[in-house]
Amino acid sequence: MTEEEYENWEMVRYRIDNEGMEYCFEHYSSFEEIEDEDFHKLRKELLEKMREMRTFVTEKLESYEEEY
């Protein structure tokens, strides 16, 4: 690993710790400077699961609202 690669990974960790996972990956950056297929696969899966969770919660709320 080069020094630049190490610094890129440090930046990702810093952003996760300081911005939170959701903001970090959904709003801050797609981290194109990270050249790691597994990282990007996991990043995309995380984004998809966060969207699924938002949809699930919204649908739950809507179903309860229809009952009342």
Q: What is the pLDDT of residues 44-58, one digit of tens each?
A: 999 999 999 999 999
**The dihedral formed by the CA atoms of 35, 32, 22 and 6, expressed in degrees to the nearest 10:** 50
Tokens of 63: 């179903």
The Cα–Cα gap between 35 and 21 comes to 19
Domain count for the chain, please give it: 1
What's the confidence (pLDDT) of residue 66? Answer: 82
What's the confidence (pLDDT) of residue 68? Answer: 76
pLDDT band of residue 65 (cuts 50, 70, 90) is confident
Mean pLDDT score, 31-41: 97
Q: Which domain holds residue 32?
A: 3-67
